[in-house]
């Protein structure tokens, strides 16, 4: 009772204060300790966020507790449906800057006004796994960019691979159903190595080109910052007269293409499921902003008619040797989202979001995507007003007569909600300068569910891709096929796939058949169009065009008490000066005391920071520590994995017992720690010459 009296006595003074200052000022005063005031969603201050309202101290909770009800109800509805594909994603804000105007080809200001920094949001993703899956499976990666242009939002929604599995969007549900978890057992998660996927592929020869890419090292990237991006489809650029030029869009990472080894990718998944997300986050936080060049392939209708393939077929690419990529701009990602759900999870991309001066082609997969993405977002984000969510909203003015609907968050004014109208002077009107589609001549063909004959060659580009790879990359493709098909329980499915491979490359088919223990090659399946030998395209390699640099790479240095201080500091300084990131690993998270009796902090503890998360390692140990760690499994695995994953290794005299325990043999990539310059030179690439000594590839 005394407490109630005290509350009553305070109430008038608080009311009077509110009357004098305004309620907002009173809230500011109550939060004067520097913390925002905790309120309900209606702005009502919360006095106790620890206890529900009860009838008595030990009695039932009261239904009238509106604070409890609001909090629990909101929590119950926190999750929205995840994306059917591309559910596992990471995103960042940044900007796009045009360096070379394409005014000759398009009226799109984003592609004509040089030097302007246009805000972007970029989301990277895996395709097959759910939102809770790992970052590093063998999988295609989504590469979607939302440009907040002065003429509206442009969404360039692509992948890190320039082609796709299927030619027609009507097959997309079948493809996704096949690659996802098998419906009767709910596994495997984020993996294509199972019967359903390969059964589908074995019956879809149009998928063979994409399979070559999917089984290559492109699908086990080292970092999101080290992936290429492709718009996949042909689009049109339209000039002021309405004339059209075809275009394909490309993103090229400043750090160059880099991949992992398969065994390494598997172990990263176990040690750090968020490896790619963490890598992107840490790079932005330390100011090493990820950057991509933006390129275009431009070609005319007449040029397209001369290609030995149909550019409207999404299972085909245009070799750079045929149509060079012109670099016209760059994208820099420099800000991590403030809230992962509000931005990365709620961002809604749609290929139909384009601006004046850009138009679609008749690519049948693209045509289906124009419908599918919008339809998906309507369900996933709750209704037609998802474009009002801040991450989706244009940053230029926008107005129309669309009204109401679920989760309407704007408040249009006036009596007019239709067009044409004459009752309101500021009602939005169409403009002759607005978006216009390309006036494409109609085909003479009859309507029907048919596919163009020009789409019938399913193997020539698959053959070109495989034969364009280095010998090491070809071996990795063969190994990946053997691994995936070895998980397939149905022999006839394995045989059909190997039969298709005979059209791609007979040597590849023999390697895969041998790896699967087949006693004879399966028959070659019939084809509608005989494959041709296209010229190899070295631009399709990873290893052959890798950039020799340390920027973006991470070096781990293993130390313990007594490690030579001069060597450790010299390695760290030299690697950092060269652009690499350096992390210290020690048996204890508290770090170690070096030979000069000074402590060094550890970025990671040995058992929880395996060498798989580094691009190269150095082992600097006292004699006593080297002998002790040679008996420690985590330390032995640390050096064994680094050696097995073809990484440069620096060592000093005290580290030799540990290297011997890990089976590390001397080669060009295993160097004395004192030879800092040679070690840094080796850090810039993997030691591919070591691989044949360590594992048998198909």
**Residues 6 or more apart in contact with residue 517 via CB below 8 angstroms:** none
Give CA separation, 403 vs 375, 413, 420, 421, 429, in Å. Answer: 18, 11, 16, 16, 16
Alpha helices for 516-603 (secondary structure H): 565-577
153, 159, 160, 392: which is the annotated catalytic residue?
A: 159
Measured distance CA(27)–CA(650) in Å, rounded: 60
Measured distance CA(156)–CA(349) in Å, rounded: 8
Measured distance CA(502)–CA(508) in Å, rounded: 7
Alpha helices for 505-601 (secondary structure H): 506-515, 565-577
Core vs surface per residue 121-137: b (16+ CB within 10 A) or e? bbbbbbbbbeeebbbbb
Residues in the chain, overall count: 698
Q: For residue 631, count other CB atoms closer than 10 A to its CB.
A: 11
Q: What is the DSSP string of 105-140?
A: T---GGGT-TT-EEEEEEEEEESSS-TTS-S-SS--
**Residues 6 or more apart in contact with residue 685 via CB below 8 angstroms:** 546, 548
Measured distance CA(260)–CA(615) in Å, rounded: 9
CB 451 within 8 A of CB 169: no
10, 41, 49, 86: which is the annotated catalytic residue?
A: 86
Would you call the peptide bond into 29 cis, given omega within 30 degrees of 0 as the criterion? no
Residue 259, beta-bridge partner list: 221
Residue 126, beta-bridge partner list: 141
Nearest to 157 by CA among 436, 370, 355, 326: 370
Q: What is the DSSP string of 284-336?
A: HHTT---EEEEEEEEE-HHHHHHSSS-TT-TT----TTTSPPEEEEEEEEEE-
Q: For residue 334, count other CB atoms closer than 10 A to its CB.
A: 13
Terminal CA-CA length for the chain: 83
Residue 558, beta-bridge partner list: 585, 619
Measured distance CA(448)–CA(396) in Å, rounded: 41
Would you call the peptide bond into 188 cis, given omega within 30 degrees of 0 as the criterion? yes
177 an active-site residue?
Answer: no
Nearest to 209 by CA among 413, 453, 477, 588: 477
Measured distance CA(623)–CA(630) in Å, rounded: 11
Measured distance CA(486)–CA(137) in Å, rounded: 17
35 an active-site residue?
Answer: no
What are the residue numbers of the active site? 86, 159
């Amino acid at each position: 009772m005394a407490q109630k009296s005290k509350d009553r006595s305070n109430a008038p003074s608080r009311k009077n204060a509110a009357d004098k200052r305004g309620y907002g000022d009173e809230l500011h005063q109550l939060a004067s300790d520097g913390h925002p005031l905790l309120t309900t969603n209606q702005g009502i201050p919360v006095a106790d966020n620890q206890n529900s309202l009860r009838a008595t101290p030990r009695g039932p909770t009261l239904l009238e507790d509106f604070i409890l009800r609001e909090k629990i109800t909101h929590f119950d509805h926190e999750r929205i449906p995840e994306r059917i594909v591309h559910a596992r994603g990471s995103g960042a804000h940044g900007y796009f800057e045009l360096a070379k105007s394409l005014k000759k080809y398009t009226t799109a200001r984003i592609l004509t006004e040089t030097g302007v920094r246009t805000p972007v949001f970029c989301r990277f993703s895996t395709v097959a796994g759910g939102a809770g899956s790992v970052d590093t499976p063998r999988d295609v990666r989504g590469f979607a960019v939302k440009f907040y242009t002065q003429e509206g939002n442009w969404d360039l929604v692509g992948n890190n691979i320039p082609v796709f599995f299927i030619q027609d969007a009507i097959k997309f549900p079948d493809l996704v159903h096949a690659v996802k978890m098998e419906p009767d057992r709910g596994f495997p998660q984020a993996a294509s190595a199972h019967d359903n996927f390969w059964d589908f592929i074995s019956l879809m020869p149009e998928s063979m080109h994409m399979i070559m890419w999917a089984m290559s090292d492109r699908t086990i990237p080292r970092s999101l910052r080290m992936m290429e991006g492709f718009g996949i489809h042909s689009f049109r650029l339209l000039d002021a007269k309405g004339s059209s030029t075809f275009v394909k869009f490309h993103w090229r990472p400043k750090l160059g293409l880099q991949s992992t080894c398969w065994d390494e990718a598997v172990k990263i998944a176990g040690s750090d499921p968020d490896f790619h997300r963490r890598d992107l986050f840490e790079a932005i936080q330390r100011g090493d902003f990820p950057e991509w060049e933006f390129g275009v392939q431009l070609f005319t209708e007449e040029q397209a008619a001369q290609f030995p393939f149909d550019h409207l077929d999404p299972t085909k690419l245009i070799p750079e040797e045929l149509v060079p990529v012109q670099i016209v701009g760059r994208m820099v990602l420099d800000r991590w989202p403030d809230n992962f759900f509000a931005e990365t999870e709620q961002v809604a991309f749609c290929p139909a979001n384009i601006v004046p001066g850009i138009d679609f082609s008749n690519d049948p997969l693209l045509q289906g995507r124009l419908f599918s993405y919008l339809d998906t977002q309507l369900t996933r984000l709750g209704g037609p007003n998802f474009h009002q969510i801040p991450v989706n909203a244009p940053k230029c003015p926008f107005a129309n007569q669309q009204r109401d609907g679920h989760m309407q968050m704007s408040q249009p004014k006036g009596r007019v909600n239709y067009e044409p109208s004459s009752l309101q002077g500021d009602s939005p009107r169409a403009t002759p300068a607005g978006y216009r589609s390309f006036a494409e001549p109609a085909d003479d063909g009859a309507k029907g569910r048919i596919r163009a004959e020009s789409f019938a060659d399913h193997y020539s580009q698959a053959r070109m891709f495989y034969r364009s790879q280095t010998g090491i990359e070809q071996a990795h493709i063969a190994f990946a096929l053997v691994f995936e098909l070895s998980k397939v329980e149905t022999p006839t499915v394995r045989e059909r796939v190997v039969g298709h491979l005979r059209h791609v490359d007979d040597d590849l088919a023999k390697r895969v058949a041998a790896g699967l223990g087949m006693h004879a090659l399966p028959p070659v399946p019939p084809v509608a169009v005989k494959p041709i030998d296209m010229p190899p395209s070295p631009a399709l390699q990873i290893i052959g065009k890798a950039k020799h640099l340390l920027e973006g790479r991470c070096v781990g240095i293993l130390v313990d008490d007594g490690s030579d201080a001069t060597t450790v500091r010299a390695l760290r300084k030299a690697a950092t000066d060269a652009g690499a990131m350096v992390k210290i690993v020690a048996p204890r998270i508290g770090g170690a005391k070096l030979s000069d009796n000074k402590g060094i902090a550890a970025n990671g503890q040995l058992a929880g920071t395996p060498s798989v998360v580094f691009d190269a390692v150095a082992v600097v140990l006292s004699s006593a520590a080297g002998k002790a760690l040679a008996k420690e499994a985590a330390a032995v695995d640390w050096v064994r994995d680094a050696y097995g994953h073809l990484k440069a290794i620096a060592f000093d005299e005290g580290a030799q017992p540990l290297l011997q325990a890990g089976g590390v043999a001397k080669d060009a990539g295993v160097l004395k720690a004192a030879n800092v310059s040679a070690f840094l030179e080796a850090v810039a690439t993997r030691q591919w010459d070591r691989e044949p000594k360590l594992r048998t590839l198909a």
